[in-house]
Structure 1
Amino acid sequence: MNKPIRRLAIFSLALFGVLMLNVSWIQTFQAESLQEHPYNRRQFVESLTQHRGSILVGSEEVAYSEPVGGDSEQFQRKYKNGQMYAPVVGAFRAGSATGIERAENSFLDGSNQLLAVNNFRDMLTGEEPEGADVYLTLNSGAQQAAMDGLESLGNNGAAVALDPETGAVLASYSSPSYDPSSVASVTETEQAAKKWTELEQSEQNPLLNRGLNEVYPPGSTYKVVTAAAALENGATPESTMAAPESLDLGAPLPNAWPGPCNDGNPDTLAHSIEISCNTSMANWAMELGPEKMHEQAEAFGFNQGPMEIPLDVTESSSPLETDPNILGRSGIGQANIESTPLQMAMVASGVANGGDVMKPYLVDSVQNSNLEEVKAAQPEVFSEAISSGTAEDLTQMMIAVTEGDEASGPAGAIPGMQVAGKTGTAETATGPTHNWFISFAPVDDPQVAVAVVVENGGESGGTLAAPIAKEMMEAVINE
């Protein structure tokens, strides 16, 4: 063999070697990602022949599969009360899925390893394989109340409710929402794709889950965090702080009304929470200092990174502020403080639960096609935010917000029981204020903690957000 032929043979063998390595790499390390890639049309077509498991709220199937009909062997995804549950359930559509449809896909399509025994049993008996059913923690009444309240206002916003004792998410609604049935059709795919594009391009961003993935300045609801820091560091509800008409923090920081708090006298911590005094709470933040404020915020869950419940949750932020002017404003939930509604619900929940913040979760259990439970929620403590004594002091201070002589949030009160709450009116860079309310009830046996935000409502949290929170709490308590 002459030299040119030998070189060509070696080069050809090298090319075959590279090709084999590439194929091996794809099959070994990239197979799963390619299989699940949104542009893998074959994967989607194959998925339509699977009997996908249902998503349930209580005993109600809110997402389920049914045969398309005719000679087709495909299944169509159907959604009941689609607009109400879309922020959580999401949509299963051509090429992709969102919400729980995506997060719990391996259970719903039957591919999860926990279903292997059941799938093998079905194969032996000749049964068609089916996906598992996913049971959510949502309370239908609270979810309905959240939707009705927010949609009646016509503003964007969100509402989240938690079980303080377990962390179960009882409601998570984001306005505006959409009907997932409009984008899930397998018989009118062009119309479904066009509708999805419209939703993606909408200025209102209905595909955004504002309860979990949008951050807002929390305004005066954050004063609960500031008060907690004060109590944890030696203050009592009767401790006082200067509460003038305005503070010079680089620019004037006034109260929500003309004039000082407490007739110009130093105001107690409890009274400052009841009336939502800006100047005294800003002074408390500066008195405590950046480290103590930062530590307390992180104890409640700020700055802890993204979280999965199993939906992705955006991190809430409370930076370490060394500038006294910025620190003072952060003490009333302004400056650089940013929070999801879920995070503020966790703050209320931690107070309700004696100081322990439970990790939120949306999936209560998973059952295979034989109604056998293969996965169940295990509540766990997310953080020990405050002592039980501080939690009790904050509870009494928050009761005054709904029923005190100078209550700032009486619209959040429920007749016949005590409700702990806190209003919030957050200034924005542009446009009217965001309006907040956080609360929990009943005080003697907390069953639900809530956070509601109304975007650019321009009024007070006690006026716009509190009535929604009240309806959500009543829905859970009266179930």
Structure 2
Amino acid sequence: MNRAIRLTAIFSLLLTLVLLVNLTIVHAFKDDEYARNSLNSRNYFELKSIPRGQIFAGGKVLAKSEKLDDGFYHRSYPTTPEAYGPLVGYISDQYGEAGLEAGYNGILNGTDDALFALKWKDMLLGREHRGANIDTTIIPAVQETAYNELTRHGYNGAVVAIRPSTGEILALASSPGFDPNPIVNNDTAKEAWAQLTENPNKPLLNTATQETLPAGSIFKIITTTAGIAKGYTPQSTVTAQNQITLPGTNTTLENYNGQHCGTGGDTTTLATAFALSCNTAFVEMGIDAGADEFRKAAEAYGIGEKYDLGIPTAAGGLGDLPDDAALGQSSIGQRDVNISVLQAAVMAATVANEGRRMEPHLVAKITGADLKELKRFDAKQLKHGVDPEVARTLKELMRDSERHTAGYAGQDIASKTGTAEHGDPDTPPHTWYVAFGPSEHADVAVAVVVKDGGGQGVGATGGSVSAPIGRAVIDAALKAMR
């Protein structure tokens, strides 16, 4: 009997010890994790008693808080909310937070350690503590042009525009967008959330930064970079054949519409192959350059990297390159190659900036409730980039490519189009356009993707679908920055 009591007592003590250890772990080490969990709605009721900071773009208020009759501050998104929703995000009692509202939550609600001094100052002076504001790098005219160009055609896709010399993101548009206001309104949140999450086009997904897609021919910029490292020049001889057989296989790859490259001979120049986007030439050159140079070139442009924008970003990548057949397919941006629109814009911006790759950033500065600047985010050059001479060569090739692109009307733009196959042969391709302008000392670089051909079927091309959007965004940016 005594033995049974002792065993029961020991077992009870062990359970008590386990409980104490668990409580210690939760309170001492995971308190912040649980307290700041985006699904912990108690946070929002506590913080709704504090005026949350505003989010700005070029002087326009994208997000603000107002005190209502219930005594709490309520969030609203007053400026063209569908155009900014995917980047600004939302903060909801029921569905947590997303976008910049999530990435800069501590700054906006005033709890970030960087605001410790301000919090104490408010306390000592008996003032209401307020969250700090975020000033984005977005130029409203550019953002709204990008969004409107996508939506007026009913396109599902994205646009990113960057200032090459600084990495400032001037536009980051995703279509379809969404209006955050119904999500943060408790009376409409459930219905709005159901509509958004059931939409097959996934409006809550930021296509510009979170989704990676096959790159198609815009990836020939990277293949050309690898080729130049191997000794190729614009005048180097490459195949002009209309098709090429992948090494060690019976699989053939063809040029667009099965055409020969150039005047019809067996060979042509790299300059002609780039301007006409001849697949066979780039398969040949990519294999000759080798997998190591190909990977090195991709890394120089940031393929495989994520960026800290305050919103989620995807890394993309090349996938495995087990043999020359895989390398040949990847050299034209197919097989396992996948990149985000943000990465495509960084690629174009790196060429425009003489090979210097700048870190893209979405927030320009943080200001206090009195709008005094607390922190500024300066331009930062990243370690990996491209040799300036390589960038200059690519710039010339991209100038000539623009002249051969549908709809060219004499603009001083350097560009590359892409048409990326995915799914079966009857599936319309994703269409791409990357460009910068002016072609010298560019003020803006842009990347556009329109998914599934934009309704133009299997014959859709980057030149016919995406290029007009890119040109309109470049024009809007150049006008806004004058």
**Normalising by structure 1, what TM-score?**
0.93
- Alpha carbons of 1:4 and 1:231: their partners in 2 closer, same or farther (altered >3 Å)? closer
The SS at the match of 2:317 is coil
Aligned-residue offset at 1:269: 1.1
Letter in structure 1 aligned against 2:283: A
1:333-344 equivalences under 5 Å are 333-344=333-344
Which residue, out of 434, 438, 442, partners 2:434?
A: 438
Q: Distance in 2 between matches of 1:29 and 1:110?
A: 22
Aligned-residue offset at 1:258: 3.6
Q: Distance in 2 between matches of 1:39 and 1:327?
A: 44
State the match for 1:295 in structure 2: 296
Q: Distance in 1 between matches of 2:323 and 2:406?
A: 32
State the match for 1:426 in structure 2: 420
Contact 1:355/1:384 (<8 A) preserved? no
1:403-422 equivalences under 5 Å are 403=403, 407-411=404-408, 415=411, 418-422=412-416
Aligned pair count reads: 466
State the match for 2:91 in structure 1: 92
State the match for 1:220 in structure 2: 217
- Alpha carbons of 1:6 and 1:279: their partners in 2 closer, same or farther (altered >3 Å)? closer
Q: Distance in 2 between matches of 1:75 and 1:267?
A: 66
State the match for 1:60 in structure 2: 60
The alignment status of 1:204 with 2:205, answered yes or no, reads no
Q: Distance in 1 between matches of 2:44 and 2:384?
A: 44
Aligned-residue offset at 1:410: 4.2
Q: Distance in 1 between matches of 2:40 and 2:326?
A: 49
Aligned-residue offset at 1:327: 1.5
- Any idea what the Cα deviations from partners look like across 1:126-158, whole Å, max 9, x if unmatched? 211110000111111111111111112212111
Which residue, out of 72, 75, 95, partners 1:74?
A: 72
- Alpha carbons of 1:46 and 1:38: their partners in 2 closer, same or farther (altered >3 Å)? same
Q: Distance in 2 between matches of 1:111 and 1:414?
A: 52
Q: Distance in 2 between matches of 1:274 and 1:6?
A: 86
- Any idea what the Cα deviations from partners look like across 1:252-308, whole Å, max 9, x if unmatched? 31111343112124111111111111111111111112111121112111233x332
State the match for 1:245 in structure 2: 242
The SS at the match of 1:358 is coil
The SS at the match of 2:127 is coil
State the match for 1:236 in structure 2: 233
Q: Distance in 2 between matches of 1:23 and 1:258?
A: 68
The SS at the match of 1:135 is strand
- Unaligned 5+ runs, structure 1: none
State the match for 2:463 in structure 1: 462
- Alpha carbons of 1:129 and 1:303: their partners in 2 closer, same or farther (altered >3 Å)? same
- Unaligned 5+ runs, structure 2: none
The SS at the match of 2:382 is strand
Contact 2:99/2:310 (<8 A) preserved? no
State the match for 2:347 in structure 1: 347
Q: Distance in 1 between matches of 2:115 and 2:281?
A: 57
Letter in structure 2 aligned against 1:230: G
Query: How many percent identity over aligned positions?
Result: 33
Q: Distance in 2 between matches of 1:470 and 1:278?
A: 25
Aligned-residue offset at 1:385: 2.6
Contact 1:54/1:134 (<8 A) preserved? yes
The alignment status of 1:136 with 2:130, answered yes or no, reads no
- Alpha-carbon RMSD across the aligned residues, in angstroms, is 1.9
Aligned-residue offset at 1:235: 1.4
Aligned-residue offset at 1:47: 2.2
- Any idea what the Cα deviations from partners look like across 1:443-473, whole Å, max 9, x if unmatched? 1221111110011114111111011111111
Q: Distance in 2 between matches of 1:397 and 1:167?
A: 23
Aligned-residue offset at 1:15: 4.9
Q: Distance in 2 between matches of 1:423 and 1:317?
A: 19
- Alpha carbons of 1:478 and 1:332: their partners in 2 closer, same or farther (altered >3 Å)? same
- Alpha carbons of 1:327 and 1:4: their partners in 2 closer, same or farther (altered >3 Å)? closer
- Alpha carbons of 1:322 and 1:38: their partners in 2 closer, same or farther (altered >3 Å)? closer
